[in-house]
Amino acid sequence: MATVAGAMDTLHGKVVVVTGATGGIGRALVRALAEHGCRLGLLARTPEKLAKLAVELRGTVLSAQPVDVRDRAAVADAVAAVERTLGPVDVLIHNAGVGRLTDARSPNLDDLIEMLGVNYLGGVYVLAAVLPSMLARGGGQIVAVSSLGARRALPWCAGYAASKVAFATYLESLRPALRRRGIRVTTVYPGFVRTAMSEVLPLRFPMPMMRPEAAARRIIRAISKGRREAAFPWYQAAVMSVLRRLPAWAYDHLMAAAGRWGIRGDY
């Protein structure tokens, strides 16, 4: 496994908090960050998975906190516990995400509430927990793992798109103000990545999907370069930026056709 040159590496020694640390992209991210020599605050919902990951990362300085990001008080406690062990947070990566399909004929409100709670409000909670110390030190970086699905709302994922769009917009609102205080905001928009979330998609054809490790590399590159936004893979990002600019009527016709062609079941 390639090691990363410590002296040149801007991430070396940084305290990085990752939510959703045990999921598909999360685990790949955490492993890569450990290789970069980061000190890791790992937040995830399932204690057993988190314990397993911590064992796997033996030798890395870390603090693992089992927490549901929908619980604001627990998030504040978890971040405080990380800061007690590792010091103030340099980089926050809100990667925890829930993705469920929405049937337009009967949009499931519990799913919507769960996705908004994890993908959007969960991000607000962790941000609120790390921001005071970042503002006090006048430095830091906030990273959100959004989705290309936030570039334009695709059919059959109304709740997911709403939650991802909400958090990306929230950070965009704060971005210039945070930058003036020395805090960078990086929003990454991954396309299809082979994780538990993308396995459930009712696609009729084999969609080319990135490996989580490749996605993690792209995310880390965006973080170290301090990019405001990064979308990948390039061809899926290109498709979305075309879709983004279509007028509503054209978009609807295209999506209706694409739905018949590409999706199993009656969307």
Contacts with other proteins by CB under 8 A lie at 72, 102, 104-107, 109, 112-113, 116, 120-121, 124-125, 127-128, 131, 135, 150, 152-159, 161-181, 228-229, 248-249, 251-252, 255-256, 259, 267
Task: Specify the residue, 199 or 266, whose C-beta has the smaller distance to other proteins.
Answer: 266
Nearer to other proteins, 48 or 103 (CB): 103
Backbone angles phi, psi at 18, to 5 degrees: -120, 125
C-beta of 245: minimal distance to other proteins in Å? 9
Our CB check for other proteins shows the closer of 35 and 114 to be 114
Q: Which two tokens stand for residue 107?
A: 């949009």
CA pair distance 32, 217, nearest whole angstrom: 7
Neighbours of 256 (CB within 10 A): 12
Distance of CA 194 to the CA centre of its chain: 14
Q: Is 160 a catalytic residue?
A: yes
Min CB(253)–other proteins separation in Å: 8
The residue (of 140 and 212) whose beta carbon lies closer to other proteins is 140
Q: Report in angstroms how near the CB of residue 28 gets to other proteins at its nearest.
A: 25
- In the complex, the smallest distance separating the C-beta of residue 178 from other proteins, rounded to whole angstroms, is 6
Quote the least distance from Cβ 52 to other proteins, whole Å: 32
> Is residue 18 within 8 Å of 43, Cβ to Cβ?
yes
Structure token pair of residue 144: 């959100």
Which residue in the list 120, 125, 160, 267 is annotated as catalytic? 160
Q: Cβ closer to other proteins: 4 or 256?
A: 256
Active site residues: 160
